[in-house]
Structure 1
Amino acid sequence: MVDLFVSYKSQDRARLKPLVDALEADGIAIWWDAHIGGGDAWREAIEQNLNAARCVLVVWSKGSTGAEGHFVRDEATRAQRRNAYLPVRIDPVEPPLGFGEIQALSLIGWKGDRADPQYHALLTAVRAILNGKRPPASVRLAERPRAGVDRRLALAGGGVAALLAAGAGGWALWPRAEAKDASIAVMPFANLSGDPTQAYFADGIAEELRSALTRIPQFTVIGRNSSEAARNEDTRTAAAKLGVASILTGSVRRSPSMIRISAQLVSGKDGVEHWSESYDRAPGDALEIQSAIAQSVAQALQIRLLPQEKDLLSVGGTRNAEAHDLLLRAFDATSLDDSDESYARALALVDSALQLDSHYGEALAHRARLIGLLAENAPTAKEVQQGMQRAIEAGRIAVSEAPKLASAYSGLAQGLKGALDLRGARQILEQGVAVGGGSTLLRGQAQILSGLGEFDAALRAIDLATKLDPLYRTNLTIRASVLYYGRRYAEALDAGLKSTVLFPKVFFGKTVAGDSLNMLGRYREALSQYGRLPDFHFSRLTGEAIALAKLGDLPGSDARLKSLDDTYKDTIIYQFAQIRSQRGEADVACTMLEKALALRDAGLSSIFADPFLDPIRREARFQAVVKALGPTR
C-alpha cells in the first residue's frame, strides 16, 4: 500500500530524489511519477496512487507555483479534500491562493542530511498522518475559522495542524529550554498584488503588526521609521543596524474576494527561519490574521501569552474591510507629505472610515492626531486654540473607546499641550507609554519634559525612543533640543550639526545648531546656520533677530521682527518675547509673554526651561505668567 504520494513539478525531480531516498530509508512507502513505466497509462496511474496514498506531500517551488504548475495545484486540491495534504517548500515562494491555510514545512537549503532538523520535522509530520492523527472529521481544511481563532490552534491536538502548532512545522527546530531574545523588527511587507498603487496596504499591514507586537510586554519592537530605513538590507545587515535578534518579513496579495498575508520570522544572526505561515482570508479578516501572526511569533520565541495579552492584540482594530482600507490610505496620504493639504485629505479619509465603523479605535486615534497637526498651522491664535480643543475632544473619545491602545493617547496629549494644559499632557503621555506607547509617545514625552526643565528624565525618554527606533532622523534632533534646554550647548551643537549632515532636509537640526551657537556667543556662525533655513521660516527670523542684535545691528534685528509680524501675526507672540528678552528689553518681553498667555500661545509650553528667556526669569511679571500656567505635575 502506498504511504506517501509526492506531488511536484517535473523540473524539480533531481532536487527531490534525495528526499525520496531519505524517506524510503526511514520506512515510508512512496509513490512518485518516476515509477511510471513506459507503457503505463500515466494519467490513470497518477490518479490511482493519488487516491490510495494516506499522505500527499505537495512540493511548492518556483515551478509548481508558476503558470505551468496546474497539475500540482489539482493534486493538492484533491489531497485537501481527503485531509491528506502536507505542503513543503523547497524555494522561497508562497503557495498559490487557496493553499496557504496550513503552514508549508521548509526544506529550503536542505542538503539530504537525515539528521537535519528540517528533515526530522517533515518525517515527524508524515508519520503523524500515517498513524491516523488527522484533523477531526468536523473540521475541513477549506473551512473558515471562527473569528479571532487561528486555525492551527483550533486543530491543536490532532493531525498535521497539531504538529505545526506544537513545533514540528518549524518551532520544534529551535531549543525550548529558555525564551529567545524578544527584540524584533517588522520589515515592510512586499506588495504582491501586481498593482503598485496597493503598496500602501502592504505597508499598513506591517505597521499594524508592529503595533500588535508592541502590546506584548516581553517584546522590544523597532519602530516603523527605522524598519523602513533598513528595508533594502539583507536580514543579517538589517538586524545588526537595528540591534534586534529577529526579523519578521512578509508579503501581501489582495484581490476583491481574498487577502493573503504571508509572514516569516527569521534569525537576525544567521538568517535561519524560525517560523513561517500564509493566511488566506476574506478582506475583512485582516485583524484576525494580524493577531494570529503576533501569537505565532510569540510562540516561536517561547513567549507564553496570558489570555488578557492575547486580547490586546486586536485592540483598536476593525473587521470592516472598507473602513480598514480607508484608514491605511489616510496613513499613506501623509507618509511623504506633511502639508496641510495632505493632513486635510487624510482627515477626510478617516472620517469616511468612522462612518463605516464609529468604534474603530485606530481611526479615532488618528483623527485626533490629524486635527492637532492642522491646528498647529492655523492662521490665527484663536483658530489654533479652537483646533486644539477639537483635538482634545477627539482624543478623549479615542481614549474612551480604546483605553488600551497607546496611539489613542498621542492626539490627546498633543491637544492638551497645545492648549497649555501641561500637567494633563504629561499625565496622558505617561499613560500612553505605560500601555506600550513605543517610540512616538516617548519622543513626545522627551519634548514636554525638556520644556518643563526635567532634563535627565527627558534624556532617558529620548534614549529609549532611539533604542526602539534607532534610524529615525527625529531622534537626533530631539536629543539635541533636550541638551540645548539643559544648557549643554556644546553637546547640543554637536548633535544639531550631525543632524544637518545626516538629514539635510530636516529644519529642526539647523534651528538647534543656530540657537546653541547664539547661546555660546558665536553669533556670526549662528547666522550662517539660520541662513540654511527657508527665507521666512519663523525659527530663522527669530534666531537672526537675536544674533543681529547681539552683533549691534539693531536695524537688521528690527527688520526680522517686522518680517515675523507681517508673516505670522499673533500666532508667534512667544517668539517676540524671546527676541525682546535677548535684546535686554525686559518690560516689552514680559508684555509679550502676558499677551501670549491671553492668546494661549502654545510656545509657552517651553517657558519653564527656554534659555532665550533666562535674562527675565527673575522678573515678577515673568514669574506671574509661569504661575498662571498652573501646575505641571
Structure 2
Amino acid sequence: MDSGDNTAPGTHPLLFVSYSRKDLERARPVIDLLEGSGFEVWWDGRLEGGENYLQTTEAALENAACVVVLWSATSVASHWVRDEAQRGRERGCLVPLTIDGTMAPLGFRQFQLLDISGWDGRAESAEAARILVAVRARLGGEPGAPAIPAGQPPAPLPPAAPTAPSPALSRRTLVLGGIGLAAVGGGIGAWQTGLFGSPASAAISMVVLPFANETGDPDKKFFSDGLARELRTILSRNPRLKVAAPTSSSAIAGADDFEIGRKLGVGSILRGSVQRDTARVRVTAELVAVEGGLVRWAETYDRALEDVFAVQSEIAETVALSLVAEIATNREAAQAAAAQKDIGGTQSVAAYEAFLRGFALYDLGAGEETDRAALAQFDAAIALDARYAAAHAMRATMLSGIANAATDQAEVRALYDQATGAAEQAIALEPRLAQGHIALGFVLSNGQLNRRAALPHYQAAEKLAAGDADGLRAVATFYSYGTGQAAERERARQMIGEVLERDPLNARAFRSAGNIALFGRDYAAVIEHMERALALNPSLASAQFAIAIARLMQGDAAAALLAAKVERVPIFQLTARAIAHARLGDAAAADAAFARLVADYGDAGLYQQAQVQAQRAAPPVALALLEKAYAARDPGLLWTGNDPMLDPLRAEARFKDLLSRLGS
C-alpha cells in the first residue's frame, strides 16, 4: 500500500508511535518533535476514557502512513510493541529507533536502526534532524528504505521461461525463493533459463545458529535449541546446501553472529527466537547474508503449539528454496527441497519435547548421570509415541554409552542387548534414518566386536548422512579402525576432511581427525590436530594421550611424558606415563604407574595393560592380556588393527589370528 493512501487531501500524514509505557518519559520528546514538525501523531496517550483500546489502536495502526517504533530494553520484551512493529514491517512503513542503545530483536534487524540514546530532546539537535529525515524518507520512498520489506511480497516476478515450474513449488514458495533476485530485474528469468548455470557439484554454505529462548524461563532453552538443531538436521539433507555443523566451542564465545559465520566460512546465517506457553508458540526466523548483512528472508509464526512441526517444515523449505535459487532451476530447487522431508519424527508435541530434553542432556555429555537422565527422556518420548524412530535410535545410543562406562560385565551385556533391540526397532520403523544405522553399527562393533556385521550399517549411514558432519565423523572413525582395508582407511581420511570443512570450530572433530592420523602413522598431523582440538576446548579428554603416543613414536619420550601428565583421563595418563618413564630409564616410576593402572582399573583396563606390555617388549604377556580382553569384549580392541603401540606384536601368529577374529 502506498503511504499516500493513508493521508486524505489537505491533512498531514498519520504517524503511529509504538513504545513501552515504562519508557513514556523518553518517548515524549520523540512525539513532541513529530507533532511540532507538522505530523499527526497517534500514541496511546491520545485514547479518551471509555474508548475501546484494541479497536482504536488497531484502526490507527492500519491507517498510519508510518509506524515509528522505539526499541529499548523494556520494549523488546513487550508483545504489544513487537506486534505493532510486525505490522509496520508487513506494511513496509516501519521506522525503528533505539532510545537506549538496545538492538532491535530478531526479525527487525534488516532495517537501519537509528540510535538516539544520546539525544537530549532538543528539536534543533542533530539527532532530531536524523529522526525527521528517517520518517520523511519512509513517507516519500526515498532511497535508503529496503527494496523488499521482510514479510511483504516483492514486486511481481518477471515472466517465467517456457518450462513450467515443478508442481511442488507453490506461488508463495516461488515468491519467497525469489527474494534477493527479483530486485535485480529479470533475475528469475535468467536463473530459469540457465544463464547462471547449475553445476551438479555446486552448493550454498550456511549455518543454523541456536535460536534465542525468549520464554523468560531458562528451563525452556531445550526447546529453542532443539528447534534449531532439528532445522539443521532437515536442511543438511538437502544436496544443494552445505550446512555447517553445530558447535559449542569456546572459539565462538563472545562473537557476534556475523563473526561466527565468517569463522565457519559460510555465506548465510539462519537465526531466530522462540516464545511459547502451554498452548501457543511464536517462532521468529531470518536468513541473513554474512557479508553485507542483507536479510534474504524473515518471518514470524504465531501458531498453536501442535503446529510447530508445520512451522519447522515451512522454515526449512523457504530457506532452502531462497538459497538454492542462486544455483539451480525451479525444478532442481524443488527436488533438492524434497530431500529435506522429516525422517523418523513424530507428530506428538509431548513426545517431541521429551526427545528435545533428552538430546539437550546428551549434548551435555557430563557423564553417566546425564546419560541416564537422557535415556529416561527418550524412554518417555517412546512411551508417548511408540513409532518415534529417532527416539528409538537415541535410546540405543544412550544405552551403548552407559554400557561403555560400566565395569560389571553382566550389566554391560544387558545394556548392549537392550541397545541392539532399540537400534533394530529404529531401523524397522524408518530404514532411512542414519542415526539408527549408526547406533546399530556401534553396538555391533563396540559391544560385540563384530566389525563385519557393523560395516553394512556404517555404509548405509554414510549415504543417508551425507550432509551431517556428526554422522560422517562416526562413519569415518569406524572406517579408520580397519587394517588391511586400504580403501576404507583412505575413505576415512577423506571423510574427516569433509567433516573439518563443515565443522571447523568443533574440538571433537579435530580429535577424531587426530586419531585417524594416528592410525595412519602421520604423527605430525596427530599433534597438529590434537593441539587445534585443545585450543578449541582445553579440557577435551584423550587429546593429550594421542599427543603422548605420537611423541613416543617420534622418539621424544620427554615430550610424551609432559603430555601424559596433563591428560585428563586417568587410565590414559597412567598408560602413557608407564611407557614414557620406561623409555627415559626411570624403571621405578614406570612400574609405579603400571601397578596403579592394574590396581585402579583391573579387567576394565586390559587393553591399556597390553599396550604397556607391548612397548616393554613383552609380547607373550601382551598377547595374553589381549586374549583376555577379547573374551571380555573390551571395546578398546577396536584400536587393535591400527594402534601403533601394538606394532611390536604384528609379526606374531597369535596376533594375526586375533585380527582375523576381530574382522580387522
**Distance change in 2, residues 1:223/1:171 (3 Å):** same
Q: Among 557, 570, 589, which residue is 2:590 paired with?
A: 557
Give the Cα separation in 2 of the matches to 1:59 and 1:163. 29
In the alignment, is the contact (CA less than 8 A) between 1:63 and 1:69 conserved in 2? no
2:471 pairs with 1:441: yes
Q: Among 62, 66, 69, which residue is 1:61 paired with?
A: 69
Deviation string, structure 1 residues 589-626 (Cα, Å, up to 9, x no partner): 22222222222221221211111111111111111111
In the alignment, is the contact (CA less than 8 A) between 1:212 and 1:314 conserved in 2? yes
For normalisation by structure 1, the TM-score amounts to 0.78
Deviation string, structure 1 residues 290-309 (Cα, Å, up to 9, x no partner): 11001110121144544684
Q: Shift of the alpha carbon at 1:72?
A: 10
Within-5 A mapping of 1:334-413: 334-413=362-441
Give the Cα separation in 2 of the matches to 1:264 and 1:58. 23
For normalisation by structure 2, the TM-score amounts to 0.75
Q: Shift of the alpha carbon at 1:332?
A: 2.0
Equivalent residue number for residue 510 of structure 2: 476
Equivalent residue number for residue 638 of structure 2: 605
**Distance change in 2, residues 1:125/1:12 (3 Å):** farther
In the alignment, is the contact (CA less than 8 A) between 1:182 and 1:220 conserved in 2? yes
Deviation string, structure 1 residues 139-193 (Cα, Å, up to 9, x no partner): xxxxxxxxxxxxxx99965xxx68964757x763465434796210111111111
Q: Among 260, 274, 281, which residue is 1:238 paired with?
A: 260
Secondary structure of the structure 2 residue equivalent to 1:578: helix
Letter paired with 1:425: A
Q: Among 456, 461, 469, which residue is 1:427 paired with?
A: 456
2:549 pairs with 1:515: yes
Give the Cα separation in 2 of the matches to 1:256 and 1:434. 39
**Distance change in 2, residues 1:570/1:52 (3 Å):** closer
Letter paired with 2:299: E
Secondary structure of the structure 2 residue equivalent to 1:301: helix
Equivalent residue number for residue 319 of structure 1: 347
Q: Among 8, 19, 22, which residue is 2:16 paired with?
A: 8
Letter paired with 1:436: A
Q: Among 597, 600, 612, which residue is 1:579 paired with?
A: 612
Equivalent residue number for residue 329 of structure 1: 357
Equivalent residue number for residue 213 of structure 2: 191
In the alignment, is the contact (CA less than 8 A) between 1:114 and 1:120 conserved in 2? no
Give the Cα separation in 1 of the matches to 2:299 and 2:437. 33
2:649 pairs with 1:622: no
In the alignment, is the contact (CA less than 8 A) between 2:241 and 2:324 conserved in 1? no
Give the Cα separation in 2 of the matches to 1:586 and 1:92. 76
Letter paired with 1:429: Y
Within-5 A mapping of 1:153-164: none
In the alignment, is the contact (CA less than 8 A) between 2:151 and 2:298 conserved in 1? no
Deviation string, structure 1 residues 110-153 (Cα, Å, up to 9, x no partner): 85584759655469969999xxxxxxxxxxxxxxxxxxxxxxx9
Within-5 A mapping of 1:520-531: 520-531=554-565
In the alignment, is the contact (CA less than 8 A) between 2:345 and 2:390 conserved in 1? yes
**Distance change in 2, residues 1:512/1:249 (3 Å):** same
Q: Shift of the alpha carbon at 1:510?
A: 0.6
Give the Cα separation in 2 of the matches to 1:262 and 1:481. 41
Give the Cα separation in 1 of the matches to 2:41 and 2:68. 18
Letter paired with 2:463: A
Within-5 A mapping of 1:72-151: 86=91, 89-91=94-96, 107-108=111-112, 112=138, 114=141, 120-121=147-148
Equivalent residue number for residue 249 of structure 1: 271
In the alignment, is the contact (CA less than 8 A) between 1:55 and 1:126 conserved in 2? no
Give the Cα separation in 1 of the matches to 2:422 and 2:591. 41
Secondary structure of the structure 2 residue equivalent to 1:249: strand
In the alignment, is the contact (CA less than 8 A) between 1:193 and 1:253 conserved in 2? yes
Q: Shift of the alpha carbon at 1:403?
A: 2.5
Letter paired with 1:292: E
In the alignment, is the contact (CA less than 8 A) between 1:249 and 1:264 conserved in 2? yes
Secondary structure of the structure 2 residue equivalent to 1:8: strand
**Distance change in 2, residues 1:376/1:422 (3 Å):** same
Q: Shift of the alpha carbon at 1:47?
A: 8.0
Q: Shift of the alpha carbon at 1:466?
A: 0.9
Where do 5+ consecutive residues of structure 2 fail to align? 8-13, 19-26, 99-106, 114-133, 157-166
Give the Cα separation in 1 of the matches to 2:418 and 2:567. 31
Q: Shift of the alpha carbon at 1:236?
A: 3.0
Give the Cα separation in 2 of the matches to 1:115 and 1:216. 40
Letter paired with 2:561: L
Give the Cα separation in 2 of the matches to 1:211 and 1:69. 30
Where do 5+ consecutive residues of structure 1 fail to align? 19-31, 80-84, 94-102, 130-152
Letter paired with 2:577: E
Deviates more, 1:266-275 or 1:423-432: 423-432
Secondary structure of the structure 1 residue equivalent to 2:225: helix
Letter paired with 1:259: V
Deviation string, structure 1 residues 184-209 (Cα, Å, up to 9, x no partner): 01111111111222222111111111
Secondary structure of the structure 2 residue equivalent to 1:277: strand
Letter paired with 1:215: R
Q: Among 230, 237, 240, which residue is 1:215 paired with?
A: 237
Give the Cα separation in 2 of the matches to 1:371 and 1:123. 46
Q: State the number of aligned residues.
A: 575
2:199 pairs with 1:172: no
Equivalent residue number for residue 271 of structure 1: 293
Letter paired with 2:522: R
In the alignment, is the contact (CA less than 8 A) between 1:9 and 1:72 conserved in 2? no
**Distance change in 2, residues 1:340/1:106 (3 Å):** closer
Deviates more, 1:515-524 or 1:115-124: 115-124
Secondary structure of the structure 1 residue equivalent to 2:239: coil
Give the Cα separation in 2 of the matches to 1:40 and 1:505. 60
**Distance change in 2, residues 1:155/1:71 (3 Å):** farther
